Amino acid sequence: MNPNAFFNMSYGVYIASSINGDKINAHIVNAVMQTTSSPATFCLASNKNNLTCEYIQQSKVFAVSVVDNDADMKFIGRFGFRTGRDIDKFDGIKYRIGQTGAPIVLEHTVAFVECKVINQIDLGSHILFVGEVVDADNIAEGKPLTYADYHNVKKGLSPKNAPTYIEKPKA
């Protein structure tokens, strides 16, 4: 099996966010998709080691902000390569609280979808959350960042908690 073939699948780059009491957190994800139209539902895969995954399990809500193509690696890295256990990922970031209480990122994003969890499936390293949409809207004009552009144009890497992470063979 050649897992590099997975990089030819079409993905986006998203910020998944949630709440836990009065705390908020978010992380970069690529495994998000609309699954039904009536009722409108989305699936989100989140690594069990991510603090945001814990928040989604506790609160049963999440928001997905669609990252724009102009986002720089510093912005992406804040949400993708740092842990909310060590920093406040929203410090200095423009956001608003959505209908569910989950934060919606307002900068470097083109749209958002906000969901309440109606099901979850344990996938081993990840939890697949199925959410019914409670709100969605466009935030700004722009082109969504694809995972292919993240890798090929921005030269971004897949962090260890990403579903597309491939461990490099030891020399």
Q: Quick check: is 166 in a domain? A: no
* Tokens representing residue 40 in the block: 């409108």
Name the nearest CA neighbour of 60 among 18, 122, 106.
18
Contact 54, 62 (CB under 8 A): no
Q: Is residue 37 part of a domain?
A: yes
Total number of domains constituting the chain:
1
Calculate the CA 134 to chain-centre distance.
17
**pLDDT above 70 as % of the chain:** 85
Whether residue 169 is contained in a domain is answered as: no
pTM: 0.85
Structural domain contains residue 168: no
Looking at per-residue pLDDT, the higher value among 160 and 124 belongs to 124
Stretch 30-50: mean pLDDT, rounded? Answer: 95
Q: Answer whether residue 165 is part of any domain.
A: no
pLDDT band per the 50, 70, 90 thresholds, residue 60:
very high
Does residue 71 lie within any of the structural domains?
Answer: yes
Does residue 164 lie in a domain region?
no
Look over the chain and give the mean of its residue pLDDT values, rounded to a whole number. 87
In a domain, 135, yes or no: yes
**Tell me, what CATH number does 47's domain have?**
2.30.110.10
Evaluate whether 79 touches 27 at the Cβ level (below 8 Å): yes
**What does the pLDDT read at residue 77?**
87
3-class state of residue 78 by DSSP: helix
With a CB cutoff of 8 Å and minimum separation 6, the contacts of 124 are: none
The amino acid that residue 75 corresponds to is F
Domain that holds residue 66: 3-152
On the question of pLDDT at 123 being above 70, the answer is: yes
Neighbours of 109 (CB within 10 A): 25
Least confident of 127-131, 132-136, 140-144: 140-144
Task: Tell me what pLDDT residue 73 has.
Answer: 84
Of residues 10 and 18, more confidence is placed in 18
Over residues 63-106, the pLDDT tens digits come to 999 999 999 888 988 998 788 899 899 999 999 999 999 999 99
- The rounded distance, in Å, linking the Cα atoms of 167 and 53 is 22
pLDDT at 167 over 90: no
